[in-house]
Homo-oligomer: A and B are copies of this chain.
Amino acid sequence: MSTNFSVPEPTPQLVKVAESAKEASISLGQSTNKQRCEALTEMANALNDNADEILKANVQDLERSEKEGLNKSLLSRLQLTKTKLKGCIDGVLKVSNLADPIGKRQLHRELNENLILERVTVPLGVLGVIFESRPDALIQIASLAVRSGNGALLKGGSEAKDTNQAIMDSLDKGLRKANVGSGALSLLTTRQESLGLLRLDKFVNLIIPRGSNELVQFIQENTRIPVLGHADGICHLYVDNSVDIDKAISIALDSKIQYPAACNAIETLLIHEDIAEMFLKKGLPIFSSEGVTLKGDTKSQALGVKNKADESDWSKEYLDLILSIKIVRNVNEAIEHIRKYSSRHTEAIVTEDKMVAEKFLSSVDSAGVYHNCSTRFADGFRYGFGAEVGISTQTLPPRGPVGLEGLVTYRYYLRGDGDLVKDFASGDRSFSHIDLPL
Protein backbone atom coordinates (compact mmCIF):
# COMPACT_ATOMS: atom_id res chain seq x y z
CA MET A 1 0.00 0.00 0.00
CA SER A 2 2.91 2.22 0.75
CA THR A 3 3.22 2.56 -3.00
CA ASN A 4 -0.23 4.02 -3.59
CA PHE A 5 -0.82 6.15 -0.53
CA SER A 6 -2.55 9.45 -0.93
CA VAL A 7 -0.13 10.91 1.64
CA PRO A 8 3.31 12.23 0.66
CA GLU A 9 6.66 10.60 1.42
CA PRO A 10 8.25 12.06 4.57
CA THR A 11 10.81 14.77 3.87
CA PRO A 12 14.47 13.96 4.62
CA GLN A 13 14.26 16.57 7.37
CA LEU A 14 11.30 14.81 9.00
CA VAL A 15 13.11 11.47 8.76
CA LYS A 16 16.04 13.07 10.61
CA VAL A 17 13.70 14.27 13.37
CA ALA A 18 12.21 10.78 13.62
CA GLU A 19 15.62 9.13 13.69
CA SER A 20 16.82 11.31 16.56
CA ALA A 21 13.56 10.80 18.48
CA LYS A 22 14.06 7.06 17.99
CA GLU A 23 17.67 7.35 19.16
CA ALA A 24 16.66 9.30 22.28
CA SER A 25 13.76 6.95 22.96
CA ILE A 26 16.18 4.04 23.27
CA SER A 27 17.95 5.60 26.26
CA LEU A 28 14.61 6.71 27.69
CA GLY A 29 13.35 3.14 27.32
CA GLN A 30 16.32 1.85 29.29
CA SER A 31 15.97 4.39 32.09
CA THR A 32 14.86 3.35 35.54
CA ASN A 33 11.42 3.98 36.97
CA LYS A 34 13.00 6.52 39.33
CA GLN A 35 14.61 8.41 36.44
CA ARG A 36 11.35 8.59 34.50
CA CYS A 37 9.50 9.82 37.58
CA GLU A 38 12.17 12.49 38.10
CA ALA A 39 11.81 13.47 34.46
CA LEU A 40 8.06 13.96 34.95
CA THR A 41 8.64 16.03 38.08
CA GLU A 42 11.14 18.21 36.21
CA MET A 43 8.68 18.55 33.33
CA ALA A 44 6.00 19.71 35.77
CA ASN A 45 8.43 22.15 37.39
CA ALA A 46 9.46 23.56 34.02
CA LEU A 47 5.80 24.02 33.04
CA ASN A 48 5.27 25.86 36.33
CA ASP A 49 8.31 28.07 35.82
CA ASN A 50 7.27 28.96 32.28
CA ALA A 51 3.54 29.27 33.03
CA ASP A 52 3.47 32.99 32.11
CA GLU A 53 5.17 32.43 28.75
CA ILE A 54 2.81 29.56 27.98
CA LEU A 55 -0.28 31.58 28.84
CA LYS A 56 1.05 34.58 26.84
CA ALA A 57 1.61 32.31 23.86
CA ASN A 58 -1.91 30.96 24.26
CA VAL A 59 -3.34 34.50 24.18
CA GLN A 60 -1.48 35.09 20.91
CA ASP A 61 -2.95 31.90 19.47
CA LEU A 62 -6.44 32.87 20.63
CA GLU A 63 -6.26 36.39 19.18
CA ARG A 64 -4.88 35.17 15.85
CA SER A 65 -7.39 32.32 15.61
CA GLU A 66 -10.28 34.61 16.48
CA LYS A 67 -9.19 36.97 13.68
CA GLU A 68 -9.01 33.95 11.39
CA GLY A 69 -12.61 33.17 12.34
CA LEU A 70 -12.09 29.93 14.31
CA ASN A 71 -15.47 28.86 15.69
CA LYS A 72 -16.39 29.28 19.35
CA SER A 73 -16.17 25.62 20.41
CA LEU A 74 -12.69 25.29 18.90
CA LEU A 75 -11.63 28.57 20.53
CA SER A 76 -12.76 27.29 23.93
CA ARG A 77 -10.80 24.07 23.35
CA LEU A 78 -7.78 26.14 22.34
CA GLN A 79 -7.95 28.36 25.41
CA LEU A 80 -5.55 27.52 28.22
CA THR A 81 -6.53 29.34 31.39
CA LYS A 82 -4.26 29.52 34.45
CA THR A 83 -6.53 27.00 36.20
CA LYS A 84 -6.56 24.67 33.18
CA LEU A 85 -2.76 24.78 32.98
CA LYS A 86 -2.50 24.13 36.72
CA GLY A 87 -4.75 21.12 36.21
CA CYS A 88 -2.49 19.87 33.41
CA ILE A 89 0.60 20.21 35.61
CA ASP A 90 -1.10 18.30 38.42
CA GLY A 91 -1.93 15.71 35.77
CA VAL A 92 1.77 15.28 34.95
CA LEU A 93 2.52 14.58 38.62
CA LYS A 94 -0.41 12.17 38.81
CA VAL A 95 1.03 10.27 35.83
CA SER A 96 4.37 9.97 37.63
CA ASN A 97 2.48 8.35 40.53
CA LEU A 98 1.03 5.65 38.28
CA ALA A 99 2.55 2.18 38.50
CA ASP A 100 5.51 1.68 36.17
CA PRO A 101 4.25 -0.23 33.09
CA ILE A 102 7.83 -1.19 32.12
CA GLY A 103 9.79 -4.23 33.32
CA LYS A 104 6.71 -6.21 34.37
CA ARG A 105 7.40 -9.93 34.11
CA GLN A 106 4.39 -11.56 32.44
CA LEU A 107 5.81 -15.03 32.02
CA HIS A 108 8.61 -16.88 33.84
CA ARG A 109 9.21 -20.46 32.81
CA GLU A 110 11.91 -23.09 33.03
CA LEU A 111 12.24 -24.77 29.64
CA ASN A 112 14.92 -27.04 31.03
CA GLU A 113 17.41 -26.87 33.88
CA ASN A 114 19.23 -23.51 33.58
CA LEU A 115 17.27 -22.57 30.44
CA ILE A 116 14.92 -19.85 31.68
CA LEU A 117 12.33 -18.01 29.59
CA GLU A 118 10.98 -14.62 30.62
CA ARG A 119 8.44 -12.31 29.03
CA VAL A 120 8.95 -8.73 30.18
CA THR A 121 7.16 -5.51 29.24
CA VAL A 122 9.19 -2.94 27.28
CA PRO A 123 8.30 0.43 25.70
CA LEU A 124 6.91 0.48 22.16
CA GLY A 125 9.55 2.96 20.99
CA VAL A 126 8.20 6.15 19.41
CA LEU A 127 4.58 7.30 19.43
CA GLY A 128 3.11 9.46 16.70
CA VAL A 129 0.51 11.77 18.20
CA ILE A 130 -1.81 13.95 16.15
CA PHE A 131 -4.19 16.17 18.10
CA GLU A 132 -6.44 19.10 17.26
CA SER A 133 -6.68 22.45 19.09
CA ARG A 134 -6.37 21.35 22.75
CA PRO A 135 -2.86 22.23 23.96
CA ASP A 136 -3.61 20.28 27.16
CA ALA A 137 -3.56 17.08 25.05
CA LEU A 138 0.12 17.77 24.32
CA ILE A 139 0.99 17.86 28.02
CA GLN A 140 -1.07 14.77 28.83
CA ILE A 141 0.23 12.55 26.01
CA ALA A 142 3.83 13.71 26.47
CA SER A 143 3.73 12.72 30.14
CA LEU A 144 2.15 9.35 29.37
CA ALA A 145 4.85 8.74 26.73
CA VAL A 146 7.70 9.54 29.15
CA ARG A 147 6.05 7.50 31.93
CA SER A 148 6.04 4.46 29.64
CA GLY A 149 9.56 5.07 28.32
CA ASN A 150 8.44 6.05 24.84
CA GLY A 151 9.56 8.88 22.64
CA ALA A 152 6.89 10.84 20.76
CA LEU A 153 6.48 12.94 17.64
CA LEU A 154 3.63 15.31 18.42
CA LYS A 155 1.65 17.33 15.90
CA GLY A 156 -0.87 19.85 17.23
CA GLY A 157 -3.31 22.06 15.40
CA SER A 158 -1.68 25.08 13.75
CA GLU A 159 -4.13 27.31 15.66
CA ALA A 160 -2.27 26.32 18.86
CA LYS A 161 1.25 26.52 17.47
CA ASP A 162 2.65 29.19 19.81
CA THR A 163 1.16 27.53 22.90
CA ASN A 164 2.41 24.10 21.85
CA GLN A 165 5.91 25.45 21.18
CA ALA A 166 6.07 27.10 24.60
CA ILE A 167 4.84 23.90 26.23
CA MET A 168 7.32 21.75 24.33
CA ASP A 169 10.21 24.03 25.31
CA SER A 170 9.26 23.47 28.97
CA LEU A 171 8.87 19.73 28.54
CA ASP A 172 12.27 19.35 26.90
CA LYS A 173 13.83 21.60 29.53
CA GLY A 174 12.46 19.17 32.11
CA LEU A 175 13.82 16.14 30.27
CA ARG A 176 17.25 17.75 29.93
CA LYS A 177 17.30 18.63 33.64
CA ALA A 178 16.45 15.04 34.55
CA ASN A 179 19.07 14.08 31.96
CA VAL A 180 17.03 11.21 30.54
CA GLY A 181 15.99 10.93 26.92
CA SER A 182 16.26 14.61 26.03
CA GLY A 183 15.10 14.88 22.42
CA ALA A 184 12.72 11.96 22.81
CA LEU A 185 9.81 14.40 22.49
CA SER A 186 9.61 16.42 19.29
CA LEU A 187 6.98 18.81 18.04
CA LEU A 188 5.90 18.69 14.39
CA THR A 189 4.56 21.96 13.07
CA THR A 190 3.44 21.62 9.46
CA ARG A 191 0.53 19.69 7.95
CA GLN A 192 3.10 18.28 5.53
CA GLU A 193 4.91 16.77 8.52
CA SER A 194 1.80 15.27 10.08
CA LEU A 195 1.04 13.56 6.78
CA GLY A 196 4.63 12.37 6.45
CA LEU A 197 4.35 10.99 9.98
CA LEU A 198 1.83 8.43 8.68
CA ARG A 199 4.56 7.00 6.45
CA LEU A 200 7.24 6.67 9.13
CA ASP A 201 6.51 3.01 9.89
CA LYS A 202 10.25 2.44 10.24
CA PHE A 203 10.46 4.77 13.25
CA VAL A 204 6.95 5.19 14.68
CA ASN A 205 5.33 2.22 16.41
CA LEU A 206 1.89 3.56 17.29
CA ILE A 207 -0.25 6.48 16.12
CA ILE A 208 -2.51 8.15 18.67
CA PRO A 209 -5.04 10.52 17.11
CA ARG A 210 -6.86 13.00 19.33
CA GLY A 211 -9.55 14.81 17.43
CA SER A 212 -12.58 14.58 15.19
CA ASN A 213 -13.92 11.33 13.79
CA GLU A 214 -12.87 12.54 10.36
CA LEU A 215 -9.27 12.99 11.54
CA VAL A 216 -9.16 9.52 13.08
CA GLN A 217 -10.74 7.87 10.07
CA PHE A 218 -8.36 9.60 7.67
CA ILE A 219 -5.42 8.40 9.74
CA GLN A 220 -6.73 4.84 10.02
CA GLU A 221 -7.13 4.69 6.26
CA ASN A 222 -3.78 6.22 5.40
CA THR A 223 -1.17 4.53 7.55
CA ARG A 224 0.22 1.05 8.04
CA ILE A 225 1.24 1.99 11.59
CA PRO A 226 -1.19 0.66 14.22
CA VAL A 227 -3.67 3.35 15.30
CA LEU A 228 -4.92 3.50 18.89
CA GLY A 229 -8.36 5.04 18.85
CA HIS A 230 -11.74 4.99 17.24
CA ALA A 231 -13.66 6.96 14.67
CA ASP A 232 -17.38 6.76 15.40
CA GLY A 233 -18.86 5.92 18.76
CA ILE A 234 -22.33 4.66 17.90
CA CYS A 235 -23.52 3.20 21.19
CA HIS A 236 -26.88 1.58 21.86
CA LEU A 237 -29.10 1.06 24.87
CA TYR A 238 -31.71 -1.71 24.71
CA VAL A 239 -34.65 -1.53 27.09
CA ASP A 240 -36.06 -5.01 27.60
CA ASN A 241 -39.68 -5.82 28.45
CA SER A 242 -39.02 -7.15 31.97
CA VAL A 243 -37.83 -3.81 33.19
CA ASP A 244 -38.10 -1.18 35.89
CA ILE A 245 -39.27 1.77 33.81
CA ASP A 246 -37.81 4.48 36.08
CA LYS A 247 -34.44 2.73 36.15
CA ALA A 248 -34.55 2.39 32.37
CA ILE A 249 -35.39 6.06 31.86
CA SER A 250 -32.67 7.28 34.22
CA ILE A 251 -30.04 5.06 32.57
CA ALA A 252 -31.16 6.19 29.11
CA LEU A 253 -30.99 9.83 30.20
CA ASP A 254 -27.55 9.50 31.79
CA SER A 255 -26.24 7.62 28.76
CA LYS A 256 -27.41 10.45 26.49
CA ILE A 257 -27.25 13.77 28.31
CA GLN A 258 -24.52 13.42 30.94
CA TYR A 259 -22.05 14.45 28.21
CA PRO A 260 -23.66 14.20 24.77
CA ALA A 261 -20.42 14.96 22.87
CA ALA A 262 -18.66 11.92 24.37
CA CYS A 263 -17.99 8.82 22.27
CA ASN A 264 -19.62 6.63 24.94
CA ALA A 265 -22.94 8.51 24.88
CA ILE A 266 -25.76 6.57 23.23
CA GLU A 267 -27.10 7.56 19.81
CA THR A 268 -29.86 4.95 19.52
CA LEU A 269 -32.38 3.64 22.02
CA LEU A 270 -33.94 0.23 21.26
CA ILE A 271 -37.18 -0.51 23.11
CA HIS A 272 -39.06 -3.80 23.47
CA GLU A 273 -42.50 -3.43 21.88
CA ASP A 274 -44.30 -4.75 24.96
CA ILE A 275 -43.25 -1.83 27.16
CA ALA A 276 -42.65 0.81 24.48
CA GLU A 277 -45.94 2.61 25.17
CA MET A 278 -45.39 2.68 28.93
CA PHE A 279 -41.76 3.75 28.54
CA LEU A 280 -42.50 6.55 26.09
CA LYS A 281 -45.58 7.79 27.96
CA LYS A 282 -43.40 8.39 30.99
CA GLY A 283 -40.17 9.16 29.14
CA LEU A 284 -41.18 11.61 26.42
CA PRO A 285 -41.91 14.55 28.74
CA ILE A 286 -38.68 13.92 30.64
CA PHE A 287 -36.54 13.79 27.49
CA SER A 288 -38.16 16.94 26.16
CA SER A 289 -37.71 18.75 29.47
CA GLU A 290 -34.01 17.84 29.23
CA GLY A 291 -33.90 19.26 25.71
CA VAL A 292 -33.35 15.94 23.96
CA THR A 293 -34.67 15.76 20.39
CA LEU A 294 -36.04 12.31 19.64
CA LYS A 295 -36.15 10.78 16.14
CA GLY A 296 -38.22 7.62 15.91
CA ASP A 297 -39.17 4.77 13.61
CA THR A 298 -42.81 4.47 12.48
CA LYS A 299 -43.91 2.52 15.57
CA SER A 300 -42.41 4.97 18.05
CA GLN A 301 -43.79 7.93 16.08
CA ALA A 302 -47.22 6.33 16.51
CA LEU A 303 -46.49 6.42 20.25
CA GLY A 304 -45.69 10.12 20.30
CA VAL A 305 -42.12 10.57 19.05
CA LYS A 306 -42.38 13.72 16.94
CA ASN A 307 -39.53 13.46 14.43
CA LYS A 308 -38.90 10.73 11.88
CA ALA A 309 -35.72 8.69 11.93
CA ASP A 310 -34.66 7.52 8.49
CA GLU A 311 -32.19 4.74 7.63
CA SER A 312 -29.21 7.12 7.87
CA ASP A 313 -30.02 7.92 11.52
CA TRP A 314 -29.10 4.39 12.66
CA SER A 315 -25.46 4.96 11.72
CA LYS A 316 -25.18 8.60 12.77
CA GLU A 317 -23.13 9.81 15.74
CA TYR A 318 -25.03 12.95 16.75
CA LEU A 319 -22.59 14.08 19.46
CA ASP A 320 -25.52 16.22 20.52
CA LEU A 321 -28.83 16.11 22.44
CA ILE A 322 -30.42 13.98 19.72
CA LEU A 323 -31.48 10.36 20.18
CA SER A 324 -32.88 7.94 17.63
CA ILE A 325 -35.47 5.45 18.83
CA LYS A 326 -36.47 2.09 17.39
CA ILE A 327 -39.04 -0.34 18.74
CA VAL A 328 -38.02 -4.00 18.45
CA ARG A 329 -39.89 -7.28 18.85
CA ASN A 330 -37.39 -8.81 21.29
CA VAL A 331 -33.76 -8.97 22.43
CA ASN A 332 -32.79 -10.86 19.27
CA GLU A 333 -33.94 -8.04 17.02
CA ALA A 334 -32.09 -5.60 19.28
CA ILE A 335 -28.89 -7.67 18.96
CA GLU A 336 -29.31 -7.84 15.17
CA HIS A 337 -29.74 -4.08 14.94
CA ILE A 338 -26.64 -3.54 17.07
CA ARG A 339 -24.57 -5.97 14.96
CA LYS A 340 -25.58 -4.05 11.88
CA TYR A 341 -25.08 -0.46 13.04
CA SER A 342 -22.87 -0.47 16.14
CA SER A 343 -19.31 0.88 15.99
CA ARG A 344 -18.52 -1.81 18.60
CA HIS A 345 -17.65 0.72 21.29
CA THR A 346 -20.15 0.21 24.14
CA GLU A 347 -23.71 -1.13 24.31
CA ALA A 348 -26.00 -1.68 27.27
CA ILE A 349 -29.17 -3.54 28.20
CA VAL A 350 -31.67 -2.65 30.92
CA THR A 351 -33.56 -5.69 32.16
CA GLU A 352 -34.52 -7.46 35.37
CA ASP A 353 -34.25 -10.82 33.55
CA LYS A 354 -30.74 -12.19 34.19
CA MET A 355 -31.06 -14.77 31.41
CA VAL A 356 -31.85 -12.11 28.83
CA ALA A 357 -29.01 -9.94 30.20
CA GLU A 358 -26.45 -12.73 29.88
CA LYS A 359 -27.67 -13.55 26.36
CA PHE A 360 -27.14 -9.90 25.43
CA LEU A 361 -23.68 -9.76 27.03
CA SER A 362 -22.49 -12.93 25.29
CA SER A 363 -24.01 -12.05 21.90
CA VAL A 364 -22.98 -8.43 21.44
CA ASP A 365 -19.32 -8.18 20.45
CA SER A 366 -18.48 -4.62 21.41
CA ALA A 367 -15.51 -3.53 23.52
CA GLY A 368 -17.91 -2.94 26.41
CA VAL A 369 -21.25 -4.62 27.02
CA TYR A 370 -23.17 -3.44 30.11
CA HIS A 371 -26.14 -4.55 32.17
CA ASN A 372 -28.30 -2.04 34.06
CA CYS A 373 -25.82 0.85 34.01
CA SER A 374 -24.94 3.87 31.91
CA THR A 375 -22.74 3.52 28.80
CA ARG A 376 -20.89 6.62 30.05
CA PHE A 377 -18.85 4.39 32.39
CA ALA A 378 -16.72 3.35 29.38
CA ASP A 379 -13.63 5.34 30.39
CA GLY A 380 -10.10 4.51 31.52
CA PHE A 381 -10.34 6.55 34.70
CA ARG A 382 -13.70 5.06 35.68
CA TYR A 383 -12.27 1.59 35.01
CA GLY A 384 -9.47 2.47 37.45
CA PHE A 385 -6.61 2.58 34.94
CA GLY A 386 -5.41 5.92 36.32
CA ALA A 387 -4.97 7.29 32.82
CA GLU A 388 -6.60 6.88 29.45
CA VAL A 389 -4.49 6.76 26.32
CA GLY A 390 -7.53 6.24 24.16
CA ILE A 391 -10.53 4.01 23.55
CA SER A 392 -10.04 1.39 20.86
CA THR A 393 -12.86 -0.12 18.82
CA GLN A 394 -10.51 -2.54 17.07
CA THR A 395 -11.17 -6.23 17.67
CA LEU A 396 -7.60 -7.11 18.65
CA PRO A 397 -6.22 -6.02 22.04
CA PRO A 398 -5.80 -3.44 23.38
CA ARG A 399 -9.56 -2.95 23.15
CA GLY A 400 -11.92 -0.52 24.87
CA PRO A 401 -10.49 2.09 27.25
CA VAL A 402 -6.69 1.74 27.19
CA GLY A 403 -4.37 2.85 29.97
CA LEU A 404 -0.58 2.96 30.09
CA GLU A 405 -0.41 -0.75 29.19
CA GLY A 406 -1.43 0.28 25.69
CA LEU A 407 1.93 2.05 25.32
CA VAL A 408 4.08 -0.98 26.07
CA THR A 409 4.82 -4.29 24.40
CA TYR A 410 6.90 -7.22 25.60
CA ARG A 411 10.09 -9.03 24.74
CA TYR A 412 11.08 -12.64 25.37
CA TYR A 413 14.38 -13.20 27.15
CA LEU A 414 15.90 -16.67 27.11
CA ARG A 415 18.99 -17.31 29.23
CA GLY A 416 20.92 -20.55 29.01
CA ASP A 417 24.41 -21.95 29.19
CA GLY A 418 25.21 -23.34 25.78
CA ASP A 419 21.79 -24.91 25.19
CA LEU A 420 21.19 -26.32 21.71
CA VAL A 421 17.94 -27.31 19.97
CA LYS A 422 19.51 -30.41 18.45
CA ASP A 423 19.74 -32.02 21.90
CA PHE A 424 15.98 -31.61 22.32
CA ALA A 425 15.29 -32.73 18.74
CA SER A 426 17.34 -35.89 19.33
CA GLY A 427 15.53 -36.60 22.58
CA ASP A 428 18.70 -36.36 24.67
CA ARG A 429 16.98 -33.55 26.56
CA SER A 430 13.29 -32.72 26.96
CA PHE A 431 11.39 -29.61 27.93
CA SER A 432 10.25 -29.33 31.55
CA HIS A 433 8.02 -26.24 31.01
CA ILE A 434 7.79 -25.52 34.74
CA ASP A 435 6.26 -22.12 35.50
CA LEU A 436 8.31 -20.14 38.03
CA PRO A 437 7.00 -17.36 40.30
CA LEU A 438 6.47 -14.07 38.44
Of the candidates A224, A372, A373, A376, the one having the most CB atoms from chain B within 10 angstroms of its own CB is A373
Residue of B nearest to A424 (CB): B382
Q: Fill in one digit per residue for A354-387: 1 if any B CB lies within 8 Å of its CB, else 0.
A: 0001000111011111111110111000111000
Q: A373-B415, A373-B416 are in contact. Are A397 and B421 (CB under 8 A)?
A: no
Q: Which residues of B contact A206 (CB under 8 A)?
A: 395-396
Q: A365-B122, A419-B374 are in contact. Are A409 and B396 (CB under 8 A)?
A: yes
Residue of B nearest to A371 (CB): B415
Q: A258-B420, A376-B421 are in contact. Are A1 and B222 (CB under 8 A)?
A: yes
- Contact partner of A409 (CB less than 8 A), chosen from B374, B399, B420, is B399
Q: Which residues of B contact A377 (CB under 8 A)?
A: 111, 115, 414, 419, 421
Q: Which residues of B contact A411 (CB under 8 A)?
A: 365-369, 399-400
Q: CA A228 – CA B340 in complex, angstroms? A: 27
- Contact partner of A6 (CB less than 8 A), chosen from B4, B244, B409, is B4
Residue of B nearest to A115 (CB): B373
Does A139 have its Cβ within 8 Å of any Cβ on chain B?
A: no
Q: CA A26 – CA B364 in complex, angstroms? A: 10
Q: A258-B420, A373-B418, A376-B421 are in contact. Are A367 and B250 (CB under 8 A)?
A: no
Q: CA A363 – CA B419 in complex, angstroms? A: 22
Taking a contact as CB atoms under 8 Å apart, the answer to whether A372 and B416 are in contact is yes
**How many residues belonging to A are interface residues under a CB distance threshold of 8 Å?**
74
- Contact partner of A397 (CB less than 8 A), chosen from B117, B410, B418, is B410
Q: CA A357 – CA B416 in complex, angstroms? A: 11
Q: CA A244 – CA B431 in complex, angstroms? A: 25
Q: Which residues of B contact A254 (CB under 8 A)?
A: 420-422
Taking a contact as CB atoms under 8 Å apart, the answer to whether B258 and A413 are in contact is no
What are 24 contact pairs spanning A and B, CB under 8 A?
Answer: A1-B222, A26-B363, A26-B365, A111-B377, A117-B383, A124-B395, A124-B396, A125-B395, A205-B395, A247-B418, A250-B420, A357-B415, A366-B411, A368-B411, A368-B414, A369-B414, A370-B415, A372-B415, A372-B416, A373-B416, A373-B419, A384-B431, A395-B409, A399-B409
The 9 closest A-B pairs by CB, nearest first: A373-B416, A384-B433, A376-B421, A254-B420, A373-B419, A247-B418, A368-B412, A370-B414, A4-B4
